[in-house]
């Protein structure tokens, strides 16, 4: 049993706005919020003057301990959620995946086996489906009962993708359940053809990756998804990892037609980096492989369009698509053939610092809260227990010190991977204290060694 935790003198990021005051955590709930709370003997007291107190950040797109068709991701639930908590993230929503021939209940049980008892941050599961059949249709309601209210399908990757008619069926089947379909929007058949074309033209290094997955592949797939969702009666869809202005324009067009229930996610890599990174060589001539993820990094003009859209409130959530692979021993298997580089990058530890720093003066604490805590909780069925600093809410809290200057480096990170796409990035602001279910899980960017993370049934 954890005693009362009193967080004093913070700038509290509450649903009604910023206020100055104290927060008491009792057990796994926020018990009281007031201008001043008098600690009792034995209370654990933290003076956080100068800090922002957020409801814990939520990363609604991760791939921990996952076979991706080419390799296993480098972070387990243990290492990934520990890294998450060090950066201020108190809940991840990870993509459990029912590969072809595997039922959704079996996949869910397997993801529980991987995560249960190992996590520092809380974890929930989306369920990705790699095939559509009557068994899967029947199991959707059971998934819903087991706390899964969001699903995922792919338009790309040969071993995962559904065709358009199947996608339409899934959208129709999810609608009565009030569930959300997250979709990986890239035109996979076109990507396959372009990969062959680029490789056959003699472009074999990481710079071939973005050439084989142009913006049109994303925009076409987003547009197609949104028409299918409209056909299914404005089914609830979440466009994951939006990376292009063309894709953004497809979303704008659907919204302008009056379509409802469209949610949009982007990731730090599409807001901060661009495709010049594929030309990095590094010591072994292969550093560009660090950035091989799908969708790929885009043009500076795409990045600027997404940043503007974010500031204008057109993007609902920022997640990471954390999908880490080591450069040495994993990504380097694609030397000489970019098609064999496992797709994905790391970020679960650094998202709050990257966004707070990069948008300093443009997004305030309430915006950071909306994009990385409140909206993910609302879109993915965790509101009002999570995503809200309020009495009665879950005691997931991030105390953020906006004054700390520090530098991201693979040498000091907690993500279990040999590089970071953000090496050398100078951050302003860091999680001073991260509480998960009322337990101090990380302090000043370092784990405390506790594992208070729990499954979040949504």
Which partner in ligand URP, Zn ion, none is near 10 (CB below 5 to 8 A by kind)? none
Under the binding rule (CB under 5 A), the answer on residue 414 touching Zn ion is: no
Nearer to ligand URP, 139 or 321 (CB): 321
Which partner in ligand URP, Zn ion, none is near 439 (CB below 5 to 8 A by kind)? none
Give the burial class of 281: count Cβ atoms within 10 A of its Cβ; 0-12 exposed, 13-18 middle, 19 or more buried.
Answer: exposed
Site residues, ligand URP (CB under 6 A): 63, 184, 293-294, 321, 323, 343-344
Nearer to ligand URP, 323 or 356 (CB): 323
- Sign of the dihedral through C-alpha 403, 405, 410, 414: negative
Nearer to ligand URP, 321 or 396 (CB): 321
Which partner in ligand URP, Zn ion, none is near 187 (CB below 5 to 8 A by kind)? none
Nearer to ligand URP, 247 or 452 (CB): 247
Which partner in Zn ion, ligand URP, none is near 293 (CB below 5 to 8 A by kind)? ligand URP
Q: CA separation (Å) from 210 to 54, 112, 278, 292?
A: 36, 35, 8, 8
Which partner in Zn ion, ligand URP, none is near 349 (CB below 5 to 8 A by kind)? none
Applying CB under 5 A, the site for Zn ion has a residue count of 2
144 CB contacts (<8 Å, ≥6 apart)?
A: 177, 179
Which partner in Zn ion, ligand URP, none is near 237 (CB below 5 to 8 A by kind)? none
Which partner in ligand URP, Zn ion, none is near 127 (CB below 5 to 8 A by kind)? none
Under the binding rule (CB under 5 A), the answer on residue 184 touching Zn ion is: yes
Nearer to ligand URP, 189 or 407 (CB): 189
Give me the least distance between CB of 361 and Zn ion, in Å please.
Answer: 30
Instruction: For residues 19 and 8, give the distance between their C-alpha atoms in angstroms, rounded to a whole number.
Output: 12
Establish how many alpha carbons lie within 13 A of residue 141's alpha carbon, considering only the half-sphere containing its beta carbon. Answer: 4
Give me the least distance between CB of 240 and Zn ion, in Å please.
Answer: 5
Give me the least distance between CB of 161 and Zn ion, in Å please.
Answer: 11
DSSP 150-215: EEEEESS-TTT---HHHHHHHHHHHGGGT-EEEEE---HHHHHHHHHHHHHTT--STTHHHHTS-H
Q: Element (H or E) spanning 352, and its range?
A: helix 351-358
Closest residue to ligand URP in the complex (CB): 343
Under the binding rule (CB under 5 A), the answer on residue 321 touching Zn ion is: yes
Contact 59, 94 (CB under 8 A): no
Instruction: For residues 52 and 283, give the distance between their C-alpha atoms in angstroms, rounded to a whole number.
Output: 40
* Piece of the chain touching Zn ion by CB under 5 A; list 167-175, 179-187, 260-268, 351-359: 179-187
Dig out the tokens for 457 from the structure. 């049934």
Q: CA separation (Å) from 457 to 75, 110, 239, 403?
A: 23, 16, 22, 35
Give me the least distance between CB of 292 and ligand URP, in Å please.
Answer: 7
Which partner in Zn ion, ligand URP, none is near 317 (CB below 5 to 8 A by kind)? none
* Spacing of C-alpha 371 from chain mean position: 11
Give me the least distance between CB of 229 and ligand URP, in Å please.
Answer: 19
* Piece of the chain touching Zn ion by CB under 5 A; list 136-144, 318-326, 370-378, 424-432: 318-326
Establish how many alpha carbons lie within 13 A of residue 131's alpha carbon, considering only the half-sphere containing its beta carbon. Answer: 11
Q: Which of 341, 309, 287, 192 is nearest to 243 (CA)?
A: 309
Which partner in ligand URP, Zn ion, none is near 445 (CB below 5 to 8 A by kind)? none
**3-class secondary structure, 359:** coil
Interface mask (CB under 5 A) for Zn ion, residues 125-164, using x and -?
----------------------------------------
Nearer to ligand URP, 61 or 388 (CB): 61
Let me know the angle formed at the C-alpha of 235 by 230 and 237, rounded to the nearest 5 degrees.
Answer: 100
Could you say which DSSP state residue 286 is in? -
Which residues in this chain contact Zn ion in the complex, by CB under 5 A? Answer: 184, 321
């Amino acid at each position: 049993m954890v005693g009362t935790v009193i967080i004093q003198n913070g700038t509290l990021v509450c649903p009604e706005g910023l206020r100055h005051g104290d927060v008491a955590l009792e057990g796994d709930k926020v018990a009281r919020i007031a201008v001043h709370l008098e600690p009792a003997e034995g209370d654990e007291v933290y003076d956080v003057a100068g800090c922002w107190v957020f409801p814990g950040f939520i990363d609604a797109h991760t791939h921990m301990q996952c076979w991706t068709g080419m390799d296993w991701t480098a972070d387990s639930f243990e290492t990934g959620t520990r890294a998450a908590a060090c950066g201020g993230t108190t809940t991840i929503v990870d993509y459990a995946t029912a590969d072809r021939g595997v039922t959704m209940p079996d996949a869910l049980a397997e993801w529980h086996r991987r995560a249960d008892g190992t996590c520092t941050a809380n974890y929930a599961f989306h369920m990705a489906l790699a095939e559509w059949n009557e068994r899967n249709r029947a199991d959707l309601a059971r998934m819903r009962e087991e706390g899964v209210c969001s699903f995922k399908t792919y338009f790309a990757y040969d071993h995962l993708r559904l065709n358009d008619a199947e996608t339409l069926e899934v959208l129709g089947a999810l609608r009565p359940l009030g569930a959300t379909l997250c979709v990986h929007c890239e035109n996979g058949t076109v990507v396959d053809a372009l990969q062959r074309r680029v490789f056959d033209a003699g472009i074999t290094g990481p710079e071939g990756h973005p050439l084989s997955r142009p913006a049109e592949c994303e925009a076409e797939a987003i547009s197609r998804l949104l028409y299918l969702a409209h056909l299914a009666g404005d089914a609830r869809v979440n466009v994951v990892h939006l990376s292009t202005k063309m894709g953004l324009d497809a979303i704008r067009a659907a919204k302008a037609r009056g379509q409802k229930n469209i949610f949009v996610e982007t990731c730090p890599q599409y807001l901060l980096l661009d495709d010049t990174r594929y030309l990095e060589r590094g010591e072994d001539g292969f550093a560009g492989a660090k950035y091989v993820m799908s969708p790929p990094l885009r043009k500076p003009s795409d990045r600027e369009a997404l940043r503007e859209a974010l500031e204008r409130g057109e993007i609902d959530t920022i997640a990471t698509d954390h999908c880490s692979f080591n450069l040495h021993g994993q990504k380097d298997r694609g030397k000489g053939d970019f098609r064999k580089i496992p797709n994905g990058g790391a970020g679960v530890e650094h998202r709050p610092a990257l966004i707070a720093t990069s948008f300093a003066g443009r997004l305030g604490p309430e915006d950071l809260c909306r994009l990385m805590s409140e909206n993910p909780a609302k879109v993915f069925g965790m509101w009002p227990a999570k995503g809200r600093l309020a009495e009665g809410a879950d005691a997931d809290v991030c105390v953020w010190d906006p004054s700390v200057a520090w530098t991201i480096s693979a040498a000091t990170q907690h993500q279990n991977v040999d590089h970071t796409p953000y090496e050398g990035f100078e951050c302003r602001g860091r999680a001073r204290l991260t509480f998960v279910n009322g337990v101090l899980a990380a302090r000043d960017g370092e784990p405390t060694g506790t594992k208070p993370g729990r499954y979040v049934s949504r």
